[in-house]
Amino acid sequence: MSEFFQLRFTVEGVPELSRILALTNERLGNFKLPLQKSAKFILADVERNFESEGGLVGGWQPLAPSTVRGRIREGYGAHPILQKTGSLRKSFFSTVSNTRMEVTSRSPYYAFHQSRKPRKKLPRRAMLVLTEYTRQNIVQEFNKYIRGKNI
């Protein structure tokens, strides 16, 4: 008898990926391998998003003129956006167990930029996104795993 496994990813401001996959192999209980691959896909998207200054989300809003002036005065230059010191870009990491995976940031600034909450000054500049291509790759990895190709 088949059991069911629900694959669910949520990213604030992005429609969640949710699929119910039928398990035909009852010995599956450790999903660490496809979860690790999924984390790598998502972290690669974060890196691409930084490289393209938000290209995966239509581009980040330009820096305010006062911010540009301050960055130039401090010797950083006007670009790249969200990369004044590079610490935010380097702060992303994943945690993976047998049944759960989380991709997040160690930076205290991440949540403010990622959030969809109403704002007055700081524009939303989402870094962590789940692209359709990545969604398809994740589902494909789980399907391959469930079918026994990676066991």
Q: Which residue has the tokens 């398990």?
A: 23
pLDDT-based confidence at residue 148 (cuts at 50, 70, 90): confident
pLDDT-based confidence at residue 15 (cuts at 50, 70, 90): low
In 3D space, the residue among 20, 25, 21, 19 whose CA is nearest the CA of residue 1 turns out to be: 25
pLDDT of 56 above 90 = yes
Instruction: Provide the CB-side half-sphere exposure for 21 (13 A, CA).
Output: 23
Phi, psi for 74 (deg, rounded to 5) = -85, -5
Better-predicted residue by pLDDT, 28 or 82? 82
* DSSP per-residue string spanning 19-64: EEEEE--TT----HHHHHHHHHHHHHHHHHHHHTTSGGGT-PPPPP
CA dist 6 → 24, 34, 142 (Å): 14, 14, 11
Q: Are 19 and 9 in contact (CB under 8 A)?
A: no
Q: Which residue has the tokens 């209980």?
A: 29
What is the pLDDT at residue 121?
A: 83
pLDDT digits (tens, 9 = 90+) for 64-112: 999 999 999 999 888 899 998 899 999 999 999 988 899 999 998 898 8
pLDDT-based confidence at residue 52 (cuts at 50, 70, 90): very high
How is residue 120 written in tokens?
């007055």
In 3D space, the residue among 34, 138, 125 whose CA is nearest the CA of residue 88 turns out to be: 125
